[in-house]
A and B are shown apart, each in its own frame.
Chain A
Amino acid sequence: MRLIDDIMIKVAAVTAVLLMVWAIVFYAAITDEMVDEIDDSLELTAENIITDFLAGESNPPQETGSNNSYSIKKATASLSSSYPYYKFEDRDIWIDDKDETEPARVLSMVFKDKDNQAYLLEVATPTFDIADLKRTLLLMIAILYALLFLAVLMTAYFAVEKSMQPLYSMLGWMDSFNLRNNNGPFKNETGITEFRQLIEAANNQVKRMTDMYERQNQFVDNAAHEMQTPLAIAMNRIEELQQNPELDESTLDSLAGIKAPLRRLSRLHRDMLNLSRIENGAYIDRQDINIRDLIAPMAEDFQDIFSEKGLEYSISGNRETTVNMNAALAELLFGNLLRNAWLHTSPGGKIEISWDGREFSVSNSGEAPLDGNIIFERFRHNSKSPNSSGLGLAICRSICTRYGFSIEYSYKKNKHFFTILISL
């Protein structure tokens, strides 16, 4: 739900309730006042009639000019007992002129004369015009209610929309923000304190992030250089030593024993660099890469390297299938998977590489399933194999995450399956 919708719902709810209360009170007050006016008129007429009647004067004609009609009669016994009686009520009365009944407001009162005789006086006035007035009033209030409600909502909407402008433009800026092609700090001249603070905080944060990113990139590059060089020198020196014909067998063995971990260190180091670069979002450019063209030469190379294992391998899949990604990363991803397969398959085993639509899988024969939960973690490797850095599958997963692919491991029919679901 958008912020403005949330605000509007709350404003609407509160306004509706408050306006409703106002409308009810207003309507009640006005109609009450109208009835009051009628009652006052009835009361005045009744007073005049009573005072005239008691003084023995002749009473005004039954139909007075004020629209009020009246009657005086001796009260029945039951009414006499209710003396003193004074009551306003709404009831239908008979109108002679019209020959029909009409709703009316009636004042009835019981009073006594000098001789203690009780009389009932009834003064009535028709109220059809009141009913008309009430209906009009109700309509007016309804129209006013709707107009006020709309006006409040529109005012609130425009006010919020206008006030929130800096927020929306900042969200847009954040969406388009990218560490690698930094488009500068967010600029917005707003006078609203909260937004100024927010923008300042965001800009500070971005500046810190950019600085850190640059420093880290520089450090990784430098470290790569600085570490790779001594490693290469060490390896070269060992190779030189190995060429020396004066060395005896046990020294050569020792040298080989030094060279193997050195090579592993070099590889580990390269993988770590790759991993950190992938996770930092290097390797941006993409292109369509034909899977078969990429895989086939790799497979041949691995087959050569591991020729003493006597493995069988097969490649099956559409010749035209391509995947859109960075060339170096593609090589790293598929290379790592294939390398793993050749490395870990026992002599005489079988490797199958196949893809179909979005699914790419590499399978190799193996005796026992691996733990699918941890093999993609860093350094969760089989420490017995000296040539693996323990980062191969972690790199694969990083690359897949980067492109929104999923990579899964499964074990079926004595085979390890590594499956990548390529998202288009």
Chain B
Amino acid sequence: MTINPFFKKHGLIKTGIAATILIILAAIPFLAEYERPLKESKLPASAGSFIKSAFPEERISFAKIEIEALRTEYEVFLSNGTKLVFNGKGKWKEIDCKHSSVPAGIIPEQIMDFIIKHGLDPSVQKISIGRKKTEAELSDGTELEFDRRFNLIGFDD
């Protein structure tokens, strides 16, 4: 049993099996995604203070955290039915005031300017900031799409 290359190859097979199992085990955290309810106090501080300043009248009705492989998000429902989405750092990504309008103070200036300049309905119902574009939905159903430099790239009424 001194020189037998086949013995080494058995080792290879075992290593292969072990590697496969390891990869699967290692992949589990990435595949796993979950969401759970969150107490108000557990929200990122910046998110909490943003809510207090932008919606001083409202209470938090419900909040939850969504954890995915490469992304964490907070979803907050306010007592007037507004839904807010924050990223992992507590910066807002989406505000959906289905039954009211987004407070003017938090709409990016360039968008507000655009709306006024073009004489559109100034009450914004939903605004979301993505990585590549920002979308705004007006109360009359008009949808506006801007790129990162706030050039209009999409318009749908």
Question: Residues of A at under 8 Å CB distance from B?
Answer: 10, 14, 17-18, 21, 25, 29, 32, 36, 47, 50-57, 84-86, 109-114, 116
Stretch in B13-21, B113-121, B135-143, B146-154 with 4+ CB within 8 Å of A: B13-21
Contact of B62 among A29, A55, A112 (CB under 8 A): A112
Contact of B77 among A10, A21, A32, A111 (CB under 8 A): A111
Measured as residues with beta carbon below 8 angstroms from the partner, the interface class of chain B is 20 to 34
Residue contact B81 to A55, C-beta cutoff 8 Å: yes
Residue contact B17 to A109, C-beta cutoff 8 Å: no
Measured between beta carbons, the chain A residues less than 8 angstroms from B80 are: 54-55, 114
The 7 closest A-B pairs by CB, nearest first: A55-B81, A55-B99, A84-B37, A111-B62, A54-B81, A86-B37, A51-B81
Contact of B81 among A18, A21, A53, A112 (CB under 8 A): A53
Contact of A84 among B17, B62, B79, B83 (CB under 8 A): B62
A29 to B39, CA, bound (A): 31
30 A/B residue pairs, CB under 8 Å, sorted by A: A17-B17, A25-B24, A32-B31, A36-B33, A50-B61, A50-B62, A50-B77, A51-B81, A51-B98, A52-B98, A54-B77, A54-B78, A54-B80, A54-B81, A55-B80, A55-B98, A55-B99, A55-B100, A56-B99, A57-B81, A57-B99, A84-B39, A85-B37, A86-B37, A109-B37, A109-B62, A110-B62, A111-B61, A111-B62, A112-B59
Measured between beta carbons, the chain A residues less than 8 angstroms from B35 are: 86
Measured between beta carbons, the chain B residues less than 8 angstroms from A36 are: 33
Q: Is B124 an interface residue (CB 8 A)?
A: no
Residue contact B64 to A84, C-beta cutoff 8 Å: yes
Question: Residues of B at under 8 Å CB distance from A?
Answer: 10, 13, 17, 20-21, 24, 31, 33, 35-39, 58-59, 61-64, 77-83, 96, 98-100
Residue contact B20 to A52, C-beta cutoff 8 Å: no
Contact of A14 among B13, B39, B79, B98 (CB under 8 A): B13
Q: Given A50-B61, A113-B79, is A21 in contact with B24 using a C-beta cutoff of 8 Å?
A: yes
A261 to B80, CA, bound (A): 132
A375 to B133, CA, bound (A): 105
Chain A's nearest CB lies how many Å from the CB of B10?
8
Contact of B64 among A53, A54, A86, A114 (CB under 8 A): A86
Measured between beta carbons, the chain A residues less than 8 angstroms from B21 are: 21
Residue contact A29 to B31, C-beta cutoff 8 Å: yes
Residue contact A21 to B20, C-beta cutoff 8 Å: yes
A109 to B37, CA, bound (A): 9
Measured between beta carbons, the chain A residues less than 8 angstroms from B58 are: 114
Residue contact B63 to A84, C-beta cutoff 8 Å: yes
Residue contact A18 to B20, C-beta cutoff 8 Å: yes
